[in-house]
């Protein structure tokens, strides 16, 4: 298979990665809101798309995001046992690792897909996670998919 990922040496200077974040309404989006209320700052690259539950996130959406130009995809859900919908996050927990394996096949670094459990009170974790993830994607450079 042809290597379709840009090497880090080719990263332009002012590169700003594009990141899509699928976050659940009850925990991670509420945590993101708290980060706002607490006036924490983090890189603006992630565009949040709030869904009711992380289990709504069809793995296809993640592939669409990569196909449409995302350099990274972040998924945020409630901690295990804290799901507003009983066990939605366990479904996410099972789906994402399977998708990661598939990403390898598509020559997308699996680390471009990040899943984290962030509760409504974990504003600091949200800030740190998004900051770290954005920095990491910056280092990886743009994802140039040849589809």
Residues binding other proteins (CB under 8 A) = 16, 18, 20, 26-27, 29-30, 32-37, 39-42, 44, 47-53, 55-61, 64-65, 68-70, 81-88, 91, 95, 119-122, 127
Counted residue by residue, the chain has a size of 147
Q: Beta partners for 73?
A: 20, 113
**Closer by beta carbon to other proteins, 20 or else 103:** 20
Task: Please say whether the beta carbons of 27 and 77 come within 8 A.
Answer: yes
Residue closer to other proteins by CB (options 5, 91) is: 91
Give the shortest CB-37-to-other proteins separation in angstroms: 6
Q: Output the smallest distance, CB 25 to other proteins, in A.
A: 8
Task: Tell me how far, at minimum, the Cβ of 132 lies from other proteins, in Å.
Answer: 15
- What's the CA angle centered on 46, arms 37 and 48, to 5 degrees? 65
Alpha helix (H) residue ranges in the chain: 28-37, 59-67, 88-105, 123-140
């Amino acid at each position: 298979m042809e290597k379709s990922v840009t090497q880090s040496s080719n990263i332009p200077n002012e590169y700003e990665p594009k990141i899509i974040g699928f976050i659940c309404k009850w925990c991670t989006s509420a945590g993101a809101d708290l980060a706002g209320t607490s006036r924490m700052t983090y890189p603006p690259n992630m565009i949040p798309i709030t869904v009711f539950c992380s289990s709504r996130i069809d793995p296809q959406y993640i592939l669409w995001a990569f196909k449409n130009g995302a350099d990274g995809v972040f998924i945020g859900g409630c901690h295990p046992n804290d799901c507003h919908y009983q066990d939605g996050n366990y479904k996410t927990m099972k789906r994402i690792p399977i998708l990661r394996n598939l990403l390898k096949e598509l020559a997308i670094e699996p680390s471009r897909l990040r899943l984290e459990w962030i509760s409504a009170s974990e504003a600091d974790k949200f800030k740190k996670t998004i900051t770290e993830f954005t920095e990491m994607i910056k280092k990886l450079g743009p994802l140039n998919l040849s589809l």
